[in-house]
Amino acid sequence: MKIFLDTANRDEIRQAAEMGVLDGVTTNPTLAAKEKKPFRQQILEICEIVKGGAISAEVVSTDYDGMLREGREVTSWHPSVVVKLPTTPTGVRACHTLSREGIRVNMTLVFSASQALLVAKAGAYFASPFLGRLDDISHDGMALLRDILTIYKNYNFSTEVLAASLRHPLHVVEAAKAGAHIATMPFKVFEQLFKHPLTDRGLEAFLKDWEKARESLGDIVEAIPQSGTRKTGS
């Protein structure tokens, strides 16, 4: 499963990219507005940090011509940019047109299997169901994800399912178990993926034991002979 960050914050993106496990970034107008920088500059900086990743940039037009204009514009900025369109009838129409031009489209705000079916038929590159927001209103977001994956498999759609609006590590694990192609998450959730109290406690105990034994064993670098440096007869 590919891991994307759901943020426009360069520091967060840089930290995740340095780990070597980041495949892309999803931004939206709410996230971009927090950064207080020109949108084009934000997107270009993100593309430079996540080299070869898929970087979603969302349009703010709600009419067909505006969506096409913005979609063509943002994808001309950098080959990594994927245009994000809302799943409205106009958005689906614009997705169809832009996809036929070879532009990658991420259809966002997917809340039902019927919407997911339509965006795949329109040629979407990614379909983004919002799992957390469904859970918020007592609908089962994970069940929707599984339904979408079943439908796409039944008809061999190439659209990748991007599990979005993930709120905690279990959402990520469940999305992976269901077979989502991608999970996008806030940086806080990304950090939580690493955490386990037994890892911290185990490491603390190892280091404490080593420290106690260090006088007799010596420093680790000296204790483990490097290849070709072993002294004979000692």
**Least distance from ligand G3P to the Cβ atom of residue 20, Å:** 22
CA distance 70 to 59: 6
Counting beta carbons within 10 angstroms of the beta carbon of residue 223, is it exposed (0 to 12), middle (13 to 18) or buried (19 or more)? Answer: exposed
CA distance 128 to 169: 18
**Least distance from ligand G3P to the Cβ atom of residue 155, Å:** 25
Structure tokens of 127? 């379909």
Binding site for ligand G3P (CB under 6 A): 6, 26, 28, 130, 132-133, 164-165, 184
Alpha helices in the chain (DSSP H): 10-18, 29-35, 39-49, 64-77, 89-100, 113-121, 131-136, 141-154, 169-178, 187-194, 197-217, 220-223
Q: Which is nearer to ligand G3P, 115 or 165 (CB)?
A: 165
CA distance 104 to 93: 14
Structure tokens of 67? 């969506």
**Least distance from ligand G3P to the Cβ atom of residue 31, Å:** 6
Q: Which residue among the candidates 37, 84, 153, 188 is catalytic per the annotation?
A: 84
Cα distance from N-terminal residue to C-terminal residue, the chain:
50
Q: Is 37 an annotated catalytic residue? A: no
Q: Which is nearer to ligand G3P, 69 or 168 (CB)?
A: 168
CA distance 124 to 92: 9
Q: Which is nearer to ligand G3P, 84 or 146 (CB)?
A: 84
Q: Which is nearer to ligand G3P, 63 or 136 (CB)?
A: 136
**Least distance from ligand G3P to the Cβ atom of residue 223, Å:** 48
**Least distance from ligand G3P to the Cβ atom of residue 204, Å:** 33
CA distance 134 to 143: 10
Q: Which residues contact 159 (CB under 8 A, 6 or more apart)?
A: 119, 120, 123, 124, 125, 126, 127, 152
Q: Which is nearer to ligand G3P, 75 or 184 (CB)?
A: 184
Say if residues 55 and 32 touch (Cβ distance below 8 Å).
Answer: no
Which residues are tagged catalytic?
84
